[in-house]
Structure 1
Amino acid sequence: MDSEDLSLVPGYEGHIVYLGDKKSNCTLRITDLRLSDSAEYRFRLITSGDKFHGSPFSLNVTDVVLEMDPTSVSEEERVTLTCRTKCTLDPITAYSWYKNGQPIPNSNTYSPVYSLFSVSSEDAGRYSCAVEGHEDLPSPEETLTVTYGPRNTSVSVSPSGEIVEGSSVTLTCSSDANPPVDKYTWYKKNVTSPKASGQSYSITNISSEDSGEYYCEAENKIASSNSTALMIIVAGRDSSPVYDNISGMAMAPTATQTAANVDQDDVHYASVHFSRSKNQEVPLYSTGQLPQPQKQDEDVQYADVKFNHPSSATQ
């Protein structure tokens, strides 16, 4: 049975190059060697009167393959990497392991098996292996995916600054999760039903009734997580001044600062500033006291402020 002419075989076009001539050189070059190139090769010489076949040559193409089990895990699970090759290796062979194209520190082993114990999200990436002495021929990469529930969930408010009746604010929920968060829900403390859904929640034509603590819940198929509560305090358009700067009180410094969980009763405050009209009476303070610095585990306390409203006051 005649051998196939490689120049006519589908898939070999551009894959083989004849370097010889028709007189005495029968050199053939195969580029981008593949496993499918494993076969028996021979040259054939055709003259005007006959055909001649050279002695056969067997080509055995081997490669290094990385097997990953499993390829997708949750945090704290175990992953096993196995480096396989059909090459005939020395009884004692070392293996090198790579992540995202870079050697994994202190990972060289004399075993074709490498284990990742109690994986975290930082272990996600592309892995490959190579046989020592042939590091220039690593295996194709396999990708490890690590899934986890929402974390670092936080709320930000826009615009920043004072919140006055009639204005609008937008609260935005952010969270890190894999797979990504597929559901956001907004809540107001001491209100049973959710206020809204979606990553952003806008309050238009805001009024004093909208004052309160707001938080969001981020959820994916793994778990859910609540943000720290954000305190919204709405000032009237002509409110009398109570404090020039409420940041003098013992509380979280900004509205966008985050914490671990709303159940800890940590509260963040939107920036609050009360303004008054030029001709408005200024209330006199009978007593007023800022709270003493609190310990870390104490709740925020407000000073007791009482107001006396005389019949007339001058500015």
Structure 2
Amino acid sequence: CWSVTYTSQSICVLKGSSVDISCSYTYPSYHEVKKTFWFTKWDPGKEPEDLILVPGNEGHIDYHGDKKNDCTLRITDLRLTDSSEYRFRFITSGGHFSGSPVSLTVTGNLSHLFYHVDSIPLPVQPTSVSEGNRVTLTCTTKCSLDPNPEYSWYKNGQPIENTNTNSTVHILSVSSEDAGKYSCGVKGHEALLSPEETLSVTYGPKNTSVSVSPSAEIMEGSSVTLTCSSDANPPVDKYTWYKKTVTSPKASGQSYSITNITSEDSGEYHCEAHNRKGTKNSTAQMIIVADSSPVYDNVSDMVMTSTAAQTADTDNQDDLHYASIHYSSSREQEVPLYSTVQSSQPQKQEEEVQYAALKFNCPSAATR
């Protein structure tokens, strides 16, 4: 009976590791085994070439079997180019026989990640996901190294905390914060993570705001620039400017400049940001224009006018004279009369001081 039996018909291993392709073979008992070898290529009409004799395979591929019934092949320091279908062949004194192929896969990436939106049938993977959709991330392995592998999840190269170790992760309502580059791997083989897969989340404008330049006091006749900022994906494709109490838009574009500004430009301004996902208005920005005109056109004229007016008023006023009358509690003392206002002096407790203001009108020229 002729046969070649393999322990596994399909083997998946990691690049740089070693593998034993275990097998056994049988033949008629009265035959003597003359030659055993492994090969990968077999051209019809030609005897296949022994892998051990292929240049570059010395020390890399070794036959660990014998010429009785063991046909194990060992490959060390596996290369990606070692992926192929391997077959064992033996020749006896009475014939020859080749076994069926064994599939060997050498991979540099243990895992592969893909995501899909639950509302879109598989196998379609969208280039972007709308905010609010449910998204499922799935990690698959090219090599079943463990019967029940546990998985690790990463975002932007950092482990995702508090994530399950299953092969799938569900994001119930995706948001802009979930956007990033995701990868996964089998625990115990973290050096062989899957290639990163970018999750792009689209959303309408948010955090829309207005900034003013210059930020100092705005003087009449100067220039002011308003700038609108907004977070959106895809980016904002249209900005519109409005002023309170004005129905029609004032301008369009991310920046709005007002030159030679006047008091009529004072008021509340806001911008509107728009992309294909929606529209968002900023909060109002108050613009106050200060009057830069002087209070007096000619200070020297003002001073002269004021002085002249004061002089005229003085001429028109009657002459005023003040006097103070000092009363003493002692009747024997004389009562002095002062022609000018006397500053108060410390008096003895028994004295009373009273003051009076007397007005004298000078006679006009007609009465002199």
TM-score bracket relative to the smaller structure: 0.5 to 0.7
Q: Please tell me whether residue 87 in structure 1 is matched to residue 134 in structure 2.
A: no
Kept in 2, the 8 Å contact 1:18–1:28? The answer is no
How far is the alpha carbon of 1:145 from its aligned partner? 0.9
Q: Which structure 1 residue ranges, 5 or more long, are not aligned?
A: 7-16, 44-53, 241-275, 283-311
Kept in 2, the 8 Å contact 1:150–1:176? The answer is yes
Q: Which amino acid in the other structure matches residue 162 of structure 2? A: N
When Rg is computed on C-alpha atoms for both structures, the one with the higher figure is: 2
Q: Percent identity?
A: 65
RMSD of aligned alpha carbons: 3.7
- 3-state SS of paired residue (2:177): helix
Aligned 1:104-119 pairs, distance under 5 A: 104-109=160-165, 111-119=166-174
Q: Which amino acid in the other structure matches residue 107 of structure 1? A: T
Cα distance between partner residues in 2 of 1:280 and 1:182: 58
With over 3 angstroms needed to count, the CA separation of the structure-2 counterparts of 1:281 and 1:143, relative to structure 1, is farther
CA deviation string 1:67-92 (max 9, x = no partner): 21135222222110111124235443
With over 3 angstroms needed to count, the CA separation of the structure-2 counterparts of 1:114 and 1:277, relative to structure 1, is farther
How far is the alpha carbon of 1:225 from its aligned partner? 0.9
Match in the other structure for 1:231: 286
Cα distance between partner residues in 2 of 1:148 and 1:277: 58
How far is the alpha carbon of 1:209 from its aligned partner? 1.7
With over 3 angstroms needed to count, the CA separation of the structure-2 counterparts of 1:125 and 1:154, relative to structure 1, is same
Cα distance between partner residues in 1 of 2:208 and 2:301: 44
Aligned 1:1-315 pairs, distance under 5 A: 1=43, 18=56, 20=58, 31=79, 33=80, 38-40=83-85, 58-61=103-106, 63-70=110-117, 71=126, 72-109=128-165, 111-238=166-293, 279=299
With over 3 angstroms needed to count, the CA separation of the structure-2 counterparts of 1:196 and 1:57, relative to structure 1, is same
With over 3 angstroms needed to count, the CA separation of the structure-2 counterparts of 1:172 and 1:139, relative to structure 1, is same
Which is worse superposed, 176-185 or 81-90? Answer: 81-90
CA deviation string 1:136-184 (max 9, x = no partner): 2111111111122111111111112222221111111111111111111
With over 3 angstroms needed to count, the CA separation of the structure-2 counterparts of 1:42 and 1:217, relative to structure 1, is same
TM-score calculated relative to the size of structure 1: 0.61
With over 3 angstroms needed to count, the CA separation of the structure-2 counterparts of 1:148 and 1:239, relative to structure 1, is farther
Matched residues, number: 224
Cα distance between partner residues in 2 of 1:239 and 1:218: 41
TM-score calculated relative to the size of structure 2: 0.52
With over 3 angstroms needed to count, the CA separation of the structure-2 counterparts of 1:277 and 1:92, relative to structure 1, is farther
Cα distance between partner residues in 1 of 2:136 and 2:216: 52
